[in-house]
Structures are given as structure tokens and as C-alpha cells.
Amino acid sequence: MNVGFVHLGCSKNLIDTETAIGKFKSNNYIIVNDEEKADIIVVNTCGFIDSAKEEAINTILEMAEYKEKRCKYLIVMGCLVQRYYEDLLKLLPEVDLFIKIDEYDKLWEKIEDLIKRDIVEKSKTKTSTKISEIPVMPMFQQKEFLDRTITTGQNFAYLKIGEGCSNRCTYCAIPYIRGPFVSRPKEDIIEEAQKLAEKGITELIIIAQDTTKYGVDLYGESKLAELLENLCKIAGIKWIRFLYTYPEGITDELIDVVAKNEKIAKYFDIPIQHISDNILKKMNRKTSKKNITQLIEKIRNKIPNVTLRTSLIVGFPGETNNEFEELLQFIKTAKFDKLGVFQYSKEEGTPAAKLPNQIHGNTKKSRYNKVMEAQQKISREQLEKKIGTQCEVLIENISFDNKYFIGRTMQDVPDIDGLVYIKNDETEKENQILNMYKKCKITDVSNYDLMGVFGDRP
């Protein structure tokens, strides 16, 4: 039978999708990109914030319409299922099988049972997980990670080094959905990275909910720096980057490892969320304004050409005008190269949802707009510093009018950060340059992207 997949959510969730695709392929199913041609449709959902939940429900209902045509089975997995399993059983009878995250170790057994017996055992009573009881979520077995189907193209792949989160930020439901942080053994990660390199992958993107926590549960201390050094030894891997590093977990050792290894992108993704000590405390963040400020200064002193990215939340319960202005002023002073901002989403079951003084939606939107307006100017200023410089660009595409080759520098995360548009002067042939690393001179910028020419050409 033909199987179609719909992926929703973050890159960590994408790896679960890729692993499930690998499962079907290894059992001789045919993967298709057209839902109209699918006998089975699998939707991997996100359940992180309200907008993600709404998107997931709408997508499931949209895919259910294909059951009136060719589709025989609709399967839904992921965070939304883990969080609202009992509710979804009642709400969406169109779905033939729901698979929770803590059932991933039996994923294929459940799918096989559905297809072979053509029934879904919905009559069994399931016990909902209480919000205060956080289970340790089993991960896919290592052999399944090795068999996953990479969906991000031939150049880069995500490499998940841990599952879950133990930080317990008051606004976040991740610990209740995916459990506490569980590290993968170092040997398993290295083996998967080597297999990816053998398949031609040249860029690894290391991910976890908080990568600085890697190894704490297995080895008693963070082993991220050591892991990165080991990954640098793998032949064929050209670029390595790691994301989601909480500020309190960034050590001098980690900064030094980034500074000295050419394969590691000089890039720190540090989700600070806010800068007001009062708001940070309410968020249950383990840092302070002083510590964040000192960390930024330390990283920039040790790595002058570093790119800093952060994410923020505006409209957290009780956020005063003065606290927001403190955040806005900090943004203008710190001058992050890249910045993302979210409007606070009241998530049921989280401590923050019970806090008084919830912020009105219009206020949150206004504060969001002010941050983005300020950051747009900062982004352009930071990019303008690159005009006239040389950089290496991974060429990944060509514009529809063939006027520009499109690529990324080592300082740009795919699908998140900006692009480089390189003028096509017809001296380079498309079939000989795509997916290649080329030297480029930056000649101009937009708010978020770079413009350039190949080599030293004027």
C-alpha cells in the first residue's frame, strides 16, 4: 500500500516522522507525497501551543476527507495525541489509530495490528496521565534511528541527542508531553552521525529540548562539549551546529570547543525568553539579567565573529509596561543577530496558566510588533557589517527566474535564518554548482538576507 505523511511541529518532532517513514519503507510500503494516492495517511502532530493544536486538528479533519476516496486508514501520532488522547478518541472518530509518544516503542506493532486485522481496539479503557506524573518516555530503538528516512534533502540532517525536558519552565507543557530529559548514549549518537556521513550528509544539526543538559542523566555532568569534539572527527562532515542551549548551561568549556573547532558553526542559539528578573523568576528560569548579560559579553569576547540568536516571550502573566520596556531596551542594547518572539500562550495544566494578571491579546500583539520592529533594524545593521567580506556558501537552489543562486552560510540555520542570493552571471552551470560549497563576496543586504557574487568578482 501507499503511505503519505503529514508532518507538523518542530525539528525534534520531524525526526520521529522520519523514523516512522523508515519503518514503513523497511516493511516494503511505498511512500507518496500526494494524499490522493495514499492508502494510509499518517499525521504527526504538535501540541505545544494553541495555534499548533488548532493547526493539528484542522489538518486531521482535512486528511479525513481523503477516506471518502482512496485512503483506508488515518493514523495520528505525536504531541497532540500524547496530551489529549482521551479527548481525541471522542472528538475524532474518523481516525483509525492514535499513537501516543510513550507508545513509540510499540509503534510498528500497533500499525501492523491495525492493518492486518482491520480493526482499532477503541473499547479498551486508557488511563490518562495526570499532569503531575511525568513518565520517562521511551525512545525509538537505535536501529530505528539508523533506518530513518532523511526528509531534509541531501545536505543536512538533524541529530537528536536527547528526549524530553527537565527544566520545568512554568509556561511550557513539554515535560508533561515528552517527559524528563533522557540522553542518548554517546556511542549511539556517534554511530548515527557516521551513518549519515556515509549517506552524503555534510551538515549535522544537533538538537534536543536543551542540548546543554546532554549527558547529565547518564554521566553525571554535561557532555555536550565532548560530544561535539567527537563529532568533529567524523570524515565527510563539514558543518556542525547545535541548537537550544539554555544560558545557565553554557560553560567555558563549550565556548572554547566552539571557538577552536573549524567544523563547528560560530553560532549560539540561546533562548533567554525575557530579561526582567521578576519575569524570569515567575517563568522558573534558572538565570538572571546579570548572568545573561555577562554570558553574551563572554561569548563575544572569546568568539568575535559569533552569531547570537535568541527567542523571547512577550505578554507573560503579570508583565508590566516597565518590564516590557526593560526587555525592549535590552534587545536594542544586546543586538542579537537573529531573534524570534512568541506571544505568551496560556497552556492548560502549566503553572503559568494559573497566574493572575493574564495579559490581554491586543497588548501581547502590540508588544510583539514593537519587538519585531526593533529587531528588523538591528538585523539589517548586523548584516550590513558583512558587506565586502568573503564567506563560504552552500548552494541549495536557484531562483525561478534563474537570476540568482540561493544558498546559506555556516551562520544560517536552514528554514529559520536568512539566505544568500548570489548573482547568476552564467559562468557557473546549475548542475555543477547545486549542493556545492562556494566562495562568495557579500555586496548588499536586505532586512534578513544577504546578496553576493561568486569569489572576488565585482
- Domain end point (choices 384, 414, 445): 384
What is residue 118's predicted lDDT score, i.e. its pLDDT?
61
What is residue 448's predicted lDDT score, i.e. its pLDDT?
92
Residues 241 and 273 in one domain: yes
Residues 374 and 400 in one domain: no
Using alpha carbons, list the distances in angstroms from residue 384 to 47, 64, 93, 151, 301. 38, 48, 54, 33, 21
Instruction: Strands of 238-330 (E only): list them.
Output: 239-242, 267-269, 307-314
Domain-embedded: residue 404: yes
Domain-embedded: residue 428: yes
Residues 193 and 298 in one domain: yes
Domain-embedded: residue 122: no
Domain-embedded: residue 326: yes
Set of cell numbers at residue 369:
510588533
For the range 67-74, what are the long-range contacts, defined as Cβ-Cβ under 8 Å and sequence gap of 24 or more? 67/94, 69/36, 70/36, 70/37, 70/38, 70/39, 71/35, 71/38, 71/39, 71/40, 71/41, 72/1, 72/39, 72/40, 73/39, 73/40, 73/41, 73/97, 73/114, 73/115, 74/40, 74/41, 74/43
Question: Residue 379 is which amino acid?
Answer: S
Residues 84 and 149 in one domain: no
Residues 183 and 317 in one domain: yes
Domain-embedded: residue 148: yes
What is the chain's pLDDT, residue by residue, as a tens digit (458 residues)? 899 999 999 999 999 999 999 999 988 999 999 999 999 999 999 988 888 899 999 999 999 999 998 999 999 999 999 999 999 999 999 999 999 998 888 888 888 888 876 644 434 444 443 333 444 444 445 555 667 899 999 999 999 999 999 999 999 999 988 899 999 999 999 999 999 999 999 999 999 999 999 999 999 999 999 999 999 999 999 999 999 999 999 999 999 999 999 999 999 999 999 999 999 999 999 999 999 999 999 999 999 999 999 999 999 999 999 999 999 999 999 999 999 999 999 998 999 999 999 999 999 999 999 999 999 999 999 999 999 999 999 999 999 999 999 999 999 999 999 999 999 987 777 778 899 999 999 999 999 999 999 986 55
What is residue 248's predicted lDDT score, i.e. its pLDDT?
97
Query: Distance (Å, rounded) from C-alpha 87 to C-alpha 12?
Result: 24
What is residue 144's predicted lDDT score, i.e. its pLDDT?
55
Q: Which domain holds residue 176?
A: 142-384
Q: What's the total number of domains in the chain? A: 3
Query: What DSSP element (H or E) covers 390?
Result: strand 390-398
- Do residues 437 and 454 touch, judged by C-beta distance below 8 A? no
Domain-embedded: residue 325: yes
What is residue 456's predicted lDDT score, i.e. its pLDDT?
63
Q: What is the CATH number of the domain that holds 253?
A: 3.80.30.20
Residues 303 and 434 in one domain: no
What is the rounded radius of gyration, in angstroms, for the C-alpha atoms of the chain?
23
Place of cell 544560558: 247
Q: Are strands 390-398 and 404-409 parallel, antiparallel or unpaired?
A: antiparallel
Residues 380 and 398 in one domain: no
Question: In the chain, what is the greatest distance between 2 CA atoms, to the nearest angstrom?
Answer: 71
Domain-embedded: residue 132: no
Q: Are strands 338-343 and 307-314 parallel, antiparallel or unpaired?
A: parallel
Q: What is the DSSP letter of 313?
A: E
Domain-embedded: residue 89: yes
Residue 109: burial class (beta carbons within 10 Å; 0-12, 13-18, 19+): exposed
What is residue 132's predicted lDDT score, i.e. its pLDDT?
39
Sheet order of strands, 267-269 included: 267-269, 307-314, 338-343
Query: Distance (Å, rounded) from C-alpha 271 to C-alpha 289?
Result: 13
Residues 50 and 148 in one domain: no
